[in-house]
Structure 1
């Protein structure tokens, strides 16, 4: 089945067409109304395409999570076009690259992104024929308070979409010829480690993924409802939020952007029984002040990835719901689901064929631990997590054959993620392929240190990364977000570190940054590249920083005099240029 066929079926079948589907801060439409509006958008795109049928039929969507995002998706799929999710946090040449690389001939946007587009209009004009501007939701749903007139609005490339849609509403379904294997969607990877790549998703993959999650993860039925706060340009929001609701014919509510402060309010607003997430949203929500009625809500299940076992347990207890956390990626090349009773820190027991290998494809030996639980053979047991039985749902990167070949060597799917297995075969994720630190000749992964720091009851989020050492290699720096109402006590923190038997002396942070928020992608994944760039430099980082001037475990605030001494040491060893990277 194609996505257009699924939309058509939901919008015309007697059992589903009158059911509520999309909800947005007091506004609501049925499946039939969604289908009819998507038909109007389909005619909009087909009219623009005209007779240029040999050119890519690609529509870029640069919007917040508003109903128009989902209308544009539905219109593209009914028209036989390819929708492209454009990351609305990008700017300048990076934004232009994503639009041009994916051959977008049209871009749908809203007023507060015109200033973002204005500087790159000259670059886009070679391929982008029109920028469709929608104003329907500009004052709805915690929208930006002001929409200043911009020079982009006066450009010929910008066209108001509403007058065109008005003329097209009421047209019949175009029934464009589309096959299940045809390309339906291009979604960029998060790009927290390497440059983002556009993942190709067919109609078949998206329909089957949404149906599978609706049935086998959420078990959706009458009375259920979803809530999407993750950005719709990310695979998680589409595959785990929108498509399950479409497949199961249940309503789904939208938030423009994720907000830890408004999350519970929105769960109540939409009567949401399921919530999808990726990255660190659960930890951010847990950092908000606890309320006695937190568990008095309709939420039944949360589904996503990258939540730690401790965070998942605490979230379940606080909000009275089930958390299903899996290991996977936008590419769909492999997946592992954590189950109750799995060993602490494990991401689950992998299916046959999921292995941990070195760069040549040789399987790594199992991990070994000392009596304190410390991993003693990391360089021997840690390797890349791969699917040796094939590439599963991975359908390649758009116009990037080299990256596709690298990801599918030997006919396997190479995840780019590092991990190890214990002697019983349980799998542990330890970071990305670029998250190794080297301190005094010892190589280790940041994730191992993060897991130890997160044992502290006052720490909600921890990001560990390397900053330059004036004498060579790295120094360990940790950025921490504390729970609401908690204060950092350097002496108590030292006592905590001393009690962690599996914390190697070389893993102990040299610098501790106390942040209220960490730099992150729109999908709530921490941007360690930005943290590494900021280092401990006051012109880059305004947060309080504690440090250990010596090899002891005594932390104190980093002062201006301390910083001058550090800079002098970098100058003395000729490594001052590293502070500029």
Structure 2
């Protein structure tokens, strides 16, 4: 079977394939039923979209069968799907729908309250779990793939408008064409040896690029099955994997930590799962996951924008993501000067000893597959400057060219004139056995620059022992002299976004003081409780140096 140039071709290949193709709770659809359902929805979409409008539809759904059915329908019709985040509210939610010029919005009854009171002029809302929806679809039950198209599907046809999870400003809708999505799926099939008998477990939200680009697309490319979970559940993960016979899954953010936090069971290794692919698990948790569940986790690098790719090879050392793909000319540069950073130097145990000189922003100096943002020229210009694609991510490179992720540029800290990456400190703190989840972020220093603050969510039954924590820090050979947290917040659970990434914006906004347990080593020694007695002198120190305004801009409740 030759390679497909479009997602539409991949959907059409399902026609006549009566193997199980889509599983959700008690529902099983064959590949043929998926293709047939997609053809019906494509025909309906062609009737509903006004002439002359952009062929865009919004999908505001949990991971139910309707989501991949409408993705497939959009591919057949030559339309684009905007994944609408159900954690957005009010004017922000309306803005996402209107900005992407969706004239049809697919949703379900559970999400209808989100639309109450919103002004959505010209938007037709379809509610999937209703009799009215079933009646609307019924006349198109006999549609064939390719019967009705809004725009003839081609590799350059828009397929996805997926919002990035930026920390400032309104989210940007990254464009992904049918050709790029089909190529991404094919690449993962080749890289991981995905077969038609595999089952891909989609538990990350499908409004986010990870689930569609890294999980659904390779399954479609290989003719593999897809099993859906409405929303991620750590406690239900293994039961789902066993029930659906899942062999592959993707993860983002803290999902792996949540799985490791579930009670251990004697049958943790009794399942068909063979591979997890994602980002931000960290080397420590990836090793713990493999030891407990017997499943290899492969850390990848990519984004909805697709501007740079890193390929993992068999000789990739522990902790590294891989090398630049053949198509890319990747470099790690100083974001202020554009000059290339020096190669990483490792000490005993593989510790990075020259982080300040080696860590920089990853750029693609070659031809980038970045396809732009929808109606956002300013964001396009910020992403591509002087012919380079700037990823917004921090990396370092070893002498052999292997690349290591070090965090987002917005998560940099500057402590005593030294630049630090939050992700590097997090990876060290994650070794502490009492920690279930860790987040590191900057709070303003009273004199200049930043101080390091850590939020810790503890494992069940653990309590914060300041002496034990300080002893742990002293034992870490790669914890630089500027890296130790000045402040430590103990949180009942780590705040996360809808895609299971740590909600650092919220943590930074709360700053030092949120009324919860807070510890500090203000004198540079042992960690002590931080309370009202320490608050007054600290505020006065900020005032003496003219930096009191930073407390309100960083939060803190002062």
TM-score (norm 1): 0.87
Deviation at residue 573 of structure 1 after TM alignment: 5.2
Q: Is the 8 A contact 1:467 1:474 kept in 2?
A: yes
Cα offsets for 1:27-83 (capped at 9, x unmatched):
111112112222221122111125x1x221110001111111122222222222211
Task: Let me know the Cα RMSD of the aligned residues.
Answer: 2.4
Residue equivalent to 1:258: 232
Residue equivalent to 1:20: 20
Shift of the 384–442 alpha-carbon distance from structure 1 to 2, 3 Å rule, reads closer
Residue equivalent to 2:190: 215
Deviation at residue 107 of structure 1 after TM alignment: 0.9
Q: Is the 8 A contact 2:201 2:249 kept in 1?
A: yes
Cα offsets for 1:4-34 (capped at 9, x unmatched):
232122123xxxx211111111111111211
Cα offsets for 1:513-572 (capped at 9, x unmatched):
222422222221112111101123235xx4x322224221x1233334444554455456
Give distance in 2, aligned partners of 1:426 and 1:215.
Answer: 21
Q: Is the 8 A contact 1:288 1:483 kept in 2?
A: no
Deviation at residue 216 of structure 1 after TM alignment: 2.5
Q: Is the 8 A contact 1:288 1:484 kept in 2?
A: no
Please state whether the residue corresponding to 1:506 is helix, strand or coil: coil
Deviates more, 1:307-316 or 1:484-493: 484-493
Deviation at residue 374 of structure 1 after TM alignment: 6.1
Shift of the 71–221 alpha-carbon distance from structure 1 to 2, 3 Å rule, reads closer
Q: Is the 8 A contact 1:355 1:363 kept in 2?
A: yes
Match of 1:400 among 358, 376, 383: 376
Deviation at residue 102 of structure 1 after TM alignment: 0.9
Shift of the 216–381 alpha-carbon distance from structure 1 to 2, 3 Å rule, reads closer
Shift of the 570–199 alpha-carbon distance from structure 1 to 2, 3 Å rule, reads same
Map of 1:437-476 to 2, 5 A cutoff? 437-476=413-452
Residue equivalent to 1:534: 510
Residue equivalent to 2:408: 432
Deviates more, 1:38-47 or 1:554-563: 554-563
Deviation at residue 227 of structure 1 after TM alignment: 0.7
Give distance in 2, aligned partners of 1:40 and 1:318.
Answer: 44
**Structure 2: runs of 5+ lacking an equivalent:** 554-558
Give distance in 1, aligned partners of 2:370 and 2:482.
Answer: 39
Residue equivalent to 1:201: 176
Q: Is the 8 A contact 1:267 1:299 kept in 2?
A: yes
Residue equivalent to 1:140: none
Give distance in 2, aligned partners of 1:362 and 1:454.
Answer: 32
Match of 1:84 among 82, 85, 103: 82
**Structure 1: runs of 5+ lacking an equivalent:** 137-158
Give distance in 2, aligned partners of 1:74 and 1:371.
Answer: 51
Residue equivalent to 1:68: 66
TM-score (norm 2): 0.90
Residue equivalent to 1:191: 166
Corresponding position: 1:493 with 2:469 = yes
Map of 1:167-182 to 2, 5 A cutoff? 167-173=139-145, 174-176=147-149, 177-182=152-157
Cα offsets for 1:208-253 (capped at 9, x unmatched):
222222233242232x211101110111111222122222222211
Give distance in 2, aligned partners of 1:480 and 1:347.
Answer: 26
Deviation at residue 397 of structure 1 after TM alignment: 1.4
Residue equivalent to 2:305: 331
Residue equivalent to 1:143: none
Shift of the 310–555 alpha-carbon distance from structure 1 to 2, 3 Å rule, reads same
Please state whether the residue corresponding to 1:509 is helix, strand or coil: coil
Match of 2:202 among 218, 221, 228: 228
Q: Is the 8 A contact 2:176 2:304 kept in 1?
A: no
Shift of the 565–263 alpha-carbon distance from structure 1 to 2, 3 Å rule, reads farther
Q: Is the 8 A contact 1:324 1:337 kept in 2?
A: no
